[in-house]
Structure 1
Amino acid sequence: MLLKKTLIILCCLFSSTAFAERWFEVEVLIFKQRPAPYLQEDFSLKQPAITDTNTLDLLTPLYTKQAMQACIDGDKRFQQQTFTDSLVNTNPQSGVCNNSTDLMQSYDTLPLTPLAPSQESMQQTYLLSAEQLQFNSQRQALVRKGLTPLLHTGWRFAGASKSRAPSMVLFAGKNIKTALNTAPSSYENPDFISLVATKNNYFEQPAEPLSKWELEGLFKIHLRHYLFITASFDISQQLENGEIESARFSQFRRVISGEVHYLDHPRMGMIVQIRKFNH
């Protein structure tokens, strides 16, 4: 009896170890659909925020690091021009390149593909480099059809159960600002008071978020005999009155590794492939 219990325990430990060592890579290509003039869906309804208790954000640290380096290198996005500079035509002051600055707000539009370094490890989840992505022909086909790719990325991860698998934080596209968060980009206003009061919005933190990315959401993959995708996104656009309208994209699907899957929505489409990695 003792021997039987010992064998059962060993089998469970072996199965758990083998499960943890099953690594995959996923590639995701998200694009905007063409406007549908006869679309009957109402996107004016407010949706609850997309949340999860277990999330992983690999994009923000990467984009922040790249923006910080651009700031140090003197990128014009981070240069502040004072009123005195505009009068005497001198070079603008250097921006503040430290962690107190919301460097993410320096992006008007995020890169289509994050510039992640190439890796081959199996230690923790990491983004794929541009060279490791395989949907280049699909992306070119979308452009030829007049569609706009928003995000082309991927990552490697260990297979995990639904309760343990994190939801990847994904965002892309334009930085859509409300009217309250729109500041003049130049000093052509003849009003002296307006000139003095104007500030660069990269260097001040609003009391509440006044902007959002064109695409924002969570993408989760879990393993339970099969692979399952849970995707929730808001695809947003700015209306003529300055307000931001968001359409909710929600999908839950069982998928097979190696197959290319297409997830559809009136406002966006997604091409996904999960591939086995080193097994």
Structure 2
Amino acid sequence: MQIRRAPLIGLMLALSTTSGQAQNQDWWFEVEVLLYKQGQAVENLDEQFPQPVVTPRDKRAIDLLSPLLHPDTSGLRAALPTCRPAVPAQDKAFDVGDPQLLDTLQSQLAALASSANDNDIFASEPQALADQAQIVGAVPVANSAAWQAEDFVDLYSLQRVGCQYEFEQAWLEDLLVSHPRPENFVEQAPVWPNGTEQPYSQTPYLLPTDQLQLSQLARDLYRQRGIEPLMHLAWRQNVQFGRSKAKAVRLFAGRNFARSYDINGYPVQDDTLSNDLTTDDTSDAALDLMAQIDKALAEPLLLNTQPSRHSEAGERSDELWELDGLFKVYLQYINRVPYLHVDADMVYRKEGQPGLMGTAPMHIALPEQGKMAPADAIPAQFQLYGMPFDQLRRIISKQLHYFDHPMFGMVVEVRRYHPPTPPKDEDAQ
């Protein structure tokens, strides 16, 4: 019996070894996604979606679009040249802030310069050190001459020259403490985001638009009535085995509604209106401390295991895109054969008449949140509605796959990609 079992055990070991080697292999794919909206009105929808709809988020998600909209310019600021006086310092007019400190510094530098005959560093610029003392110990007057930039970056110029532009102050701040900077508000995402070819990259990257292979299909779609482009892009990424191990790619497209609506979909109120909103005096805040404690003890304890989908009225976000969500590609074995899967979890937003999908118009929703709206408040003409899109599908490489939604559509094509071998370093040869 043991002899008969040997071939079967060997076959199982061979299959498991092959499966393990396939999972350890670095599988790269080229993903091209074509997004378009179909021009359907919210009022004509048969489906009803509970509002508000939360945008899917994943801290591990790969974001290839945000660096295009908000590029990191800290490296460019660090590469900017420093500055120096346009004319000799002794010809400038200065208001001396501390004459005694200035005399002490000048005398010390003069003694140092006189004894620098054996020192090549200081002997080369004795007069420059004395000029520096005058610049450091003085404040230039308003009618002083302009400053000019050097043609190169020299760290010693920070010690040699008493000049500093605002961009240099930002440079030093970035080196010491990393802090967020105000970013420009982006109202519309690009329809054709353009990336850069990086054949030897070990991380996912966005492809340039000239490598899109579904351009003709996109043009045919846009000729149809009611079809408008949302986004057309392609990227390359390594694909993992298993849905839980795969990293999602964040996709967002269309208009950014963040300045017009809050995260609940209600129009953003003016500052004058928000200042007039007051809390009702009959709330728990008007009760004394003991009454609040008695009321809390009398009420049953409710444990909600589901995350709350509601937020305070007027709560805003920096980004409220027309289409936003996660797009995940992963491999999964089915009968020992690896199959590609696409998992799309997104939210599409569109304006519509107030009070749809079981929501209350803005002038009614504010009192329900415990706030008083002005008597002359004008009802809002539109509200923003979110419609979820959650589809999981097994796909085949190099085939077109359509994902349909009442408000938009998505065409996906995934192609196997074999990264080239990086060239050898000439120094290592």
Say yes or no: TM over 0.5: yes
- The corresponding residue for 1:54 is 60
Structure 1 residues 209, 12: closer, same or farther in 2, change over 3 A?
same
Matched, 1:246 2:383: no
Alignment partner of 1:217 out of 317, 320, 325: 325
Residues 139-165 of structure 1 show CA distances to partners (whole Å, capped at 9, x for unaligned) of 111221141111111211112022221
Q: Would the aligned equivalents of 2:62 and 2:250 in 1 still touch at CA under 8 Å?
A: yes
Q: 1:11 and 1:34 mapped to 2: Cα distance?
A: 51
Residue type matched to 1:55 in 2?
A
Q: 1:207 and 1:268 mapped to 2: Cα distance?
A: 27
Give the greater-gyration-radius structure (CA): 2
Structure 1 residues 228, 239: closer, same or farther in 2, change over 3 A?
same
Q: 1:182 and 1:108 mapped to 2: Cα distance?
A: 19
- The corresponding residue for 1:118 is 197
Residue type matched to 1:273 in 2?
E
Pairs within 5 Å for 1:265-276: 265-276=405-416
Gaps of at least 5 residues in structure 1 are: 73-95, 184-205
Where 1:180 maps in the other structure, the secondary structure is coil
- TM-superposed CA distance for 1:54, in Å, is 3.3
- TM-superposed CA distance for 1:122, in Å, is 5.0
Structure 1 residues 9, 211: closer, same or farther in 2, change over 3 A?
same
Gaps of at least 5 residues in structure 2 are: 1-8, 78-169, 262-266, 272-313, 333-337, 354-379, 420-429
Residues 222-248 of structure 1 show CA distances to partners (whole Å, capped at 9, x for unaligned) of 101100111011111233534321111
Q: 1:45 and 1:139 mapped to 2: Cα distance?
A: 32
- TM-superposed CA distance for 1:38, in Å, is 4.1
Matched, 1:28 2:33: yes
Q: Would the aligned equivalents of 1:24 and 1:277 in 2 still touch at CA under 8 Å?
A: yes
Structure 1 residues 113, 181: closer, same or farther in 2, change over 3 A?
farther
Q: Point out the structure with the larger strand share.
A: 1
Q: 1:102 and 1:172 mapped to 2: Cα distance?
A: 22
Residue type matched to 2:401 in 1?
H
Q: Would the aligned equivalents of 2:53 and 2:347 in 1 still touch at CA under 8 Å?
A: no
RMSD after superposition:
3.6
Matched, 1:64 2:70: yes
Give the count of matched residue pairs: 231
Give % identity: 32
- The corresponding residue for 1:194 is none
Residues 30-51 of structure 1 show CA distances to partners (whole Å, capped at 9, x for unaligned) of 1101215643112453334413
Matched, 1:138 2:226: no
- TM-superposed CA distance for 1:129, in Å, is 1.4
Structure 1 residues 143, 236: closer, same or farther in 2, change over 3 A?
same
- TM-superposed CA distance for 1:23, in Å, is 1.2
Pairs within 5 Å for 1:1-279: 16=20, 18-19=22-23, 20-35=25-40, 38-43=44-49, 45-52=51-58, 54-65=60-71, 100-103=180-183, 105-121=184-200, 123-145=202-224, 146-161=226-241, 162-176=243-257, 177=259, 178=261, 179-180=267-268, 208-209=316-317, 211-224=319-332, 225-240=338-353, 241=380, 242-278=382-418
* TM-score, length-scaled by structure 2: 0.47
- TM-superposed CA distance for 1:207, in Å, is 7.2
- TM-superposed CA distance for 1:138, in Å, is 1.5
Structure 1 residues 211, 157: closer, same or farther in 2, change over 3 A?
closer
Q: 1:182 and 1:258 mapped to 2: Cα distance?
A: 51
Where 2:321 maps in the other structure, the secondary structure is strand
Residues 112-153 of structure 1 show CA distances to partners (whole Å, capped at 9, x for unaligned) of 122211222251111111112111112111221141111111
- The corresponding residue for 2:423 is none
- TM-superposed CA distance for 1:102, in Å, is 4.3
